[in-house]
Structure 1
Amino acid sequence: MRKVHRCRFSILSRICLISFIILATFTFINQEIFKLNNCRGLEQDSAVPTSSIPSRYLLIPYREFAYRTSISCNAYKLDQPDKELSQLHPKYSQYLRGAFPYVIPYTNITYEDVENFYNTKSNKSRLAMRQISFASNIEFENIPYKYENGMWSPIGVTSAQRTAILVPLQDRDYNAKAFLLNMHAFARRQLLTYLIVIIEQVYPINSRFNKGRLYNAGVRYIQQNQQKLNITCFILHDVDLIPENDGNFYTCESKHPKHTTLRIRKLNSTSDYSRFYEFLIGGALILTFDMYKRVNGFSNLFWGWGGEDDDLSLRFIQRRACVVRPSYELANYIALPHSNGRSNNARFKLLTWSTVRLDTDGYNKIDSMIRIVHILNTSTVLHLKIDVDANHIYYKSASIGNSQLIYNKTYADLTTTRGPVTTRVAKKLTSM
């Protein structure tokens, strides 16, 4: 009997050993195929030689990771501050009404119209509808507010936080005006002390959008003017989104970033809301400067639509951070119509090594990459016009043969958006 048992055990051991060897071999082959496919893609889509990127940087099959990963904090409740008039939280505002009556203005609206609207005192009652040349049936309440030292603040109340709403922009002026018209009214319902900053990309001419550099530039400008503004909370906000419920509080949480864009529906659409995926943090993200600096802000390498928000999610994960979210009933948004931007075909390749670039590609490098072309400061908007490629490497790279040198100068710029530029445009930018 003992011999029989030993024989069975020996056969079983051999089967397990053979299975293990087969499995290990199969896994190794798959990994090598994955590396080979990624390297071929990089070689075709990027001006940077494949040898510039060590294979160890290709850390994850990004798409699978994003679909399977949630960045939400587990078992965490939003802050529940006490009612205190010296530091009033929006939840205790007397002007909360629930549904927010957003206004879709006519296309003839101007920035001056928005400015005059919020600086002209109305003698009508707080709930009276107002008819104006650029909009009809405006139901915004006349909440007592004052503008002082670059910030709007409620009269008779001290807000819990001082908030900067940062809005990146390129070629969507109508959306920007509609956003300003609505967001001032929304912020006042919550009795926020706030300013709205539009960060517009104006150079390079006809280039793809670089939202990451614009956000980094906006945060940098605020930090350089902190002595005057004393901002304690940043709201990173897409220009085409308007909140639909004033119970969606635009305040920073004490421990975690807050993502509030849970459900979106297109204006005049008959379809239901589209829901976010668990890895998403784009749309409206609310966080402190310390939280932003901890992940080194946004990557500076994403040119065109897509990728920069997911790159930021990967940075949060790398820094062991998660995001909190309000309830589905409150975090609803209307999406204003706009033309689609040009997509970033290199985004998935960039995302495979996001966390390796975290310390060398982001907020801490923004000073050398951007230049403020013009500043317009009115009571309703701080409008920064930005050259997002101030050192002009983006243009020069098309004519310089040594792409390895370009790689070093631009902190591994793998984007596929380089294209020929006329001599006239290049000279104009260089002379600025």
Structure 2
Amino acid sequence: MPSTWPSSADSVPVALPVPSTPPLAAAPTAPGLMPLPPAPGCLRPPVCGLALPCPPCRPVLTCLLVSRVQRENPGVLLGGRYTPPDCTPAQTVAVIIPFRHREHHLRYWLHYLHPILRRQRLHYGIYVINQHGEDTFNRAKLLNVGFLEALKEDAAYDCFIFSDVDLVPMDDRNLYRCGDQPRHFAIAMDKFGFRLPYAGYFGGVSGLSKTQFLRINGFPNEYWGWGGEDDDIFNRISLTGMKISRPDIRIGRYRMIKHDRDKHNEPNPQRFTKIQNTKLTMKRDGIGSVRYQVLEVSRQPLFTNITVDIGRPPSWLPRG
């Protein structure tokens, strides 16, 4: 990824259909997240809550200009940091995106997610972890890197949202916050017919508190290529006595930007064997063993780009 934000003249054509299902009526505020009351002159701002009512956010885009994304998010600081001006956030949230060669998807994602996160009154930062080179992609290792690098910038981060760059939530009430258990947000994607594909699915968008992430030793580093790492993470959560929490299926709906399988992200032929051995590998393979080199940190107007060298895949995998 270049070290400078692309020209505002750049545009990316993306077209998604409007879902045919009727809008979901505004639900009551989630427990512990009271609507923000008017507080003129208050000496102590109230705790941040979601501003309701919120209709579903329906992703529809024909042509996106970078200048428009910046203009519509005036409160977002350099590096993609945002703090609500009128309340005290309960958490400090780092949103981590594993990335390579998806600039057009990233613009689209930023266009929708910044307004959603601001409406949710989050104190957050967005980190794009860009894998250098053309070797086989390693999503989970990039997420480990994002966890560590975000904490280097701000040790106050206590909630980590891990999101693929091609997924956009359709409802503001799918709150990007951490709870008592690890959270799976993307439970009803359009590509799966707005259904959970299987009970142990933990892919797309998930969230763990700092404590939960360290408890499972982070994510595995040895899943090179597509598939398997999400199931390994699910196993780690189960093996440490935690359970997955999920939103209502009507709220946890996502649109995916359609695309071809990325080059150098072919299916991992070892994924099924590795998933069966999580109990044996999770203590030695994770956040405590991740090795990488930061090549560049670039704070863009709407996100922080961190380009990293995460090493080479095993010799039995095809390389770029």
TM-score after normalising by structure 2: 0.80
The CA distance in 2 between the partners of 1:144 and 1:171, in whole Å, is 27
Deviation for aligned residue 1:86:
2.7
Question: What does residue range 31-430 of structure 1 map to in structure 2 within 5 Å?
Answer: 80-81=31-32, 83=34, 86-90=46-50, 93-94=51-52, 96-106=53-63, 109=64, 113-114=65-66, 116-120=67-71, 145=75, 147=77, 151-203=81-133, 206-227=134-155, 230-253=156-179, 255-266=180-191, 272-340=193-261, 341-366=265-290, 369-389=291-311, 394=313, 398=315, 416-419=316-319
Distance 1:283 1:324, change over 3 A: same
Contact 2:79 2:303 in 1 (8 A): no
The CA distance in 1 between the partners of 2:234 and 2:194, in whole Å, is 23
Q: What residue identity is the alignment partner of 1:213?
A: K
Deviation for aligned residue 1:155:
2.1
The CA distance in 1 between the partners of 2:209 and 2:113, in whole Å, is 20
Distance 1:272 1:306, change over 3 A: closer
The CA distance in 2 between the partners of 1:105 and 1:384, in whole Å, is 29
Contact 1:296 1:363 in 2 (8 A): yes
The CA distance in 2 between the partners of 1:349 and 1:256, in whole Å, is 27
- Describe the SS at the equivalent of 1:154: coil
Aligned pair count reads 280
Q: What residue identity is the alignment partner of 1:154?
A: P
TM-score after normalising by structure 1: 0.60
Question: What do residues 373-422 of structure 1 show as CA deviations (whole Å, max 9, x unaligned)?
Answer: 11110231111111111xx5x4xx65xxxxxxxxxxxxxxxxx4155x8x
The CA distance in 1 between the partners of 2:235 and 2:120, in whole Å, is 32
Distance 1:213 1:149, change over 3 A: closer
Deviation for aligned residue 1:295:
0.4
The CA distance in 1 between the partners of 2:76 and 2:227, in whole Å, is 38
Distance 1:144 1:88, change over 3 A: farther
Identity across the alignment (%):
25
Normalized per residue, the structure richer in helix is 1
- What corresponds to 2:25 in structure 1? none
The CA distance in 2 between the partners of 1:272 and 1:220, in whole Å, is 35
Contact 2:176 2:207 in 1 (8 A): yes
Q: Which range moves more in the overlay, 157-166 or 357-366?
A: 157-166
Structure 2 stretches of 5 or more lacking a match?
1-28, 37-44
Distance 1:146 1:370, change over 3 A: closer
- Describe the SS at the equivalent of 2:201: coil
The CA distance in 1 between the partners of 2:88 and 2:78, in whole Å, is 14
Deviation for aligned residue 1:161:
1.6
Structure 1 stretches of 5 or more lacking a match?
1-77, 121-141, 399-415, 422-432
The CA distance in 2 between the partners of 1:190 and 1:79, in whole Å, is 12
Distance 1:156 1:181, change over 3 A: same
Deviation for aligned residue 1:144:
7.5
Deviation for aligned residue 1:158:
2.2
Q: What residue identity is the alignment partner of 1:86?
A: P
Q: What residue identity is the alignment partner of 2:308?
A: I
The CA distance in 2 between the partners of 1:299 and 1:146, in whole Å, is 32
